[in-house]
Copies of this chain bind each other. A is one copy, B any other.
Amino acid sequence: MAVRHRVVVIGSGFGGLFATRRLRRAPVDVTLIDRANHHLFQPLLYQVATGILSDGEIAPPSREILRRAPNVRVELANVTHIDLDARTVIGDQLGRKLVASYDSLIVATGSSHSYFGHDEFERWAPAMKTLDNARELRARLFGAFEVAEFETDVAARRSWMTFAVIGGGPTGVEVAGQIEELSRRSLRRNFRSIDPASARVVLCEAGPAILPTFGKRLSEMATRELERKGIDVLVNSAVVGVDASGVDLRSSDGKTTRIECMTKVWAAGVEASPLAGLLAEASGAEVDRHGRVHVLPDCTLEGHPEVFVIGDAMALGDLPGVAEVAIQQGLFAARTIRRRLRGRAESKPFRYIDLGSLAVVSRFRAVASIGPIRVGGFIGWLAWLVVHLTFLTGFKNRVAAVAHWAVSFVGRSRSERALTVDEIRPESKLADPGSH
């Protein structure tokens, strides 16, 4: 029996998953490796963090998505090494060693959050990248109101009811909007000592404007809308310190201010996964300041036409780090592999079709930048809805998730508010800060 062409895909995010799906009828054997058992619909992760959706609604198991692709094997493993010469991927599977040989490799390991050299911030300001992050943030958010309810010291209570979101990109804007929303609507009548609606939400952005990639008009529209809702939008405010009880900001003119707040969310920076750096070292390719490895115009690693690096792990021209780039590159890599197997080895460059960017500012209001079209308000929100509905297609839970989500948008309910005993035990970040 002839050995079929072996493709290894690392990462079941947008890039890896779309590449794998596109290879399911090709004459290849695919191994998809990821540290978790699920794809993550990251654009809605903030809805898990704020109690709207459940884990499963945005994290369908990769095996389930690929169950009708008999040529695909899913491996749960943490890839630790790629041997470019031996064309082998080495991973750790819960203490056991995984060795996967490839003829073609697609590295789609994405990015994690970056604290710009201040990893000590992470303890107090969790990021928004994984389900674990979202669960932790959810516990902190709902827990903060619980503590404020019994806290008798006025200043401390104020600090538990102040929420700082660090980073004015789409994730930061969406998280800030949802925290404000839950304080003003979802927790209504729930408390006796505090009025959740009096919570203060601060959105801190180091640059001169939030949502800079959306252009001046939409950025200003989003700022107005957030401010109308009562969110403090602080631009030119770089976070220079994060500790148990607050954040320190430095404005562009060098002045520093402090915001006392127990709950912080980090939505500021991203950094490519360490595998991008390993690949760069092994191949001699450059990495950019976000740790992304530079690839050739056909998304392959210099000197290694059999290795594709796609999505947030790679740097190519001025491609942004968004899901849409990862998806298109995943499809492109799969197409290139299929073409080569048909004997057409000429290299074609990847061309990105910009379908635009979207961010939800508040209920029924979003900003959308789609090619030359830039819309805000309700029309922007409709655009956001259509794009996400389209994206969710192919997800097993799309009907349930969309229904759930529609109900949450229209109504005031947050159904995922349970704090477990483990989440509120004294070691948690909800304990008296004096005890740390």
Contact = CB atoms under 8 A, between A and B. Distances in A.
Q: Give the number of copies in the complex.
A: 2
A61 B417 contact: yes
Given A51-B56, A76-B146, A96-B432, A420 B190 contact: no
A75 B420 CA distance: 15
Interface in A391-436: 396-397, 400, 403-404, 407, 413, 415-422, 424, 426, 428, 430-432, 434-435
A131 interface: yes
A368 interface: no
A91 B189 CA distance: 24
Contacts of A142: 37, 61
B418 A36 contact: yes
Interface string A350-362: 0000000000000
Nearest to A40: B418
Nearest to A54: B54
Contact of A400 (B132, B415, B417): B415
Nearest to A411: B396
Given A130-B421, A131-B420, A400 B396 contact: no
Contacts of A132: 420-422
A59 interface: yes
Contacts of A116: none
Contact of A417 (B64, B96, B418): B64
A135 interface: yes
Nearest to A31: B192
B189 A95 contact: no
A63 B130 contact: no
A434 B147 CA distance: 42
